[in-house]
Amino acid sequence: MAKYFPVLAEAFGRLRTELAGRPIAIIGHARPDGDCIGSQVALARVLAAAGHDVICVNADPVPRRLTFLTQGLTFYRTDDVLARDERRAAIYVDCADHARAGERLKAHYAVPAACVDHHLSNGGFATLNLIDAGAAATCEILAGMFLDAGLPIDALTAQALYTGIVTDTGQFRFPATSHRCFLLAGELVERGASPAVVGYELYERETAGKLQLLQLFLASLRVECEGRVCIGRLPAGIFAETGTSGEDTEGMVDYARSIEGVDIGVLIEERPEGVVKASLRAKDAAYRMDRIAAAFQGGGHACAAGLSIKMDTKEFHTRLLDLLREQIRVVATATKET
């Protein structure tokens, strides 16, 4: 039987040998998503089954809609770990760089034992780096490595891995969704992952407030740059008004991008103390959302990036539109030349 990740098999074997018997901290990124929590849960369960003392650590809490995966595990916050001065072998998952989990965790776990990740920009900041930028999700890598190594995958582990693949492929529709994604999803369903339960937990447990927030966001949509950009705004105070939180904006920017003819969707949030937060989504990687975000000290992928900056909203709006207009011009010129 061919391996799913033949290049990583040797390193994963070495990781298991070198960490044998040691207590482990599995660290995810700030504002954790389904692939982050799914990866942490799955790796924690597999390592715990192999006899390790394992904890999971994040700068931010596990989002409400992902708590169905965390039963039986302890998720620590940064303060808990620093207060207890927990010393463990650290494995970073789904983090493109060491700082993605926060500077304080970076300082505490200064030499990570390993990282498992699928981000193109990951340069390999750990002792052992298990990276495949061709994978759609870190959970895809973990699922493949577990199967390649013949490790048992129980139903909740399968559910966690499946959740990561579902969320990071946008329900199997982002460009990185491959034959391998489907093969692995099938294997996980065979082992007890339930597409219906995952779908229910992720998408059918909304609050009335979240739908109200979505409604207000949709009402705010404005098309700019001759129909190529669509921007929606969530003004200051809207979370309090609707009984929601920043977590509830997840996926909202996709509506802005979904309009025919629109190439770039933007969500702008006015946060307290003059902070502007923005999510940028492009239909095509040529628009380089990561670069646009970087102009405001943000980052991300070519099609999906984000930023958070102290700036007047109007000024931000103007500067963002200038950059987007210029980028659209650059792409149009490049397209004409080829």
Q: Binding residues for a second copy, per CB under 8 A?
A: 166, 169-175, 177-183, 185-186, 189-190, 195-196, 198-200, 203-208, 211-212, 214-215, 218-219, 221, 223, 255, 257-260, 283
**Minimal distance, residue 120 CB to a second copy, in Å:** 17
Three-state secondary structure call for residue 153: coil
Question: Between the CA atoms of 15, 185, 92 and 25, what dihedral angle is there, to the nearest 10 degrees?
Answer: -80
**Minimal distance, residue 333 CB to a second copy, in Å:** 24
Residue (124 or 227) nearer to a second copy, CB: 227
Q: In the numeric block, which tokens belong to residue 267?
A: 């969500």
**Minimal distance, residue 202 CB to a second copy, in Å:** 8
Residue (199 or 274) nearer to a second copy, CB: 199
**Minimal distance, residue 288 CB to a second copy, in Å:** 18
d(CA 45, CA 282): 36
**Minimal distance, residue 190 CB to a second copy, in Å:** 5
d(CA 217, CA 212): 9
Residue (52 or 191) nearer to a second copy, CB: 191
Name the residue among 203, 187, 176 with its Cα closest to residue 152.
Answer: 187
Burial class (CB in 10 A: 0-12, 13-18, 19+), 257: buried
Tell the residue number behind the tokens 């018997």, with chain if given: 21
**Minimal distance, residue 210 CB to a second copy, in Å:** 8
Three-state secondary structure call for residue 130: strand
Residue (138 or 177) nearer to a second copy, CB: 177
Name the residue among 149, 151, 135, 150 with its Cα closest to residue 185.
Answer: 135
Amino acid at 136: A
Residue (138 or 163) nearer to a second copy, CB: 163
Q: Which helix (H) or strand (E) holds 223?
A: strand 222-224
d(CA 282, CA 289): 7
With b for 16 or more beta-carbon neighbours within 10 A and e for fewer, the 301-327 pattern comes to bebbbbbebebebeebbeebeeebeeb
Residue (25 or 142) nearer to a second copy, CB: 142
Amino acid at 98: H
**Minimal distance, residue 252 CB to a second copy, in Å:** 12
**Taking a C-beta distance cutoff of 8 angstroms, is the pair 52, 19 a contact?**
yes
**Minimal distance, residue 224 CB to a second copy, in Å:** 12
Residue (6 or 203) nearer to a second copy, CB: 203
Burial class (CB in 10 A: 0-12, 13-18, 19+), 336: exposed
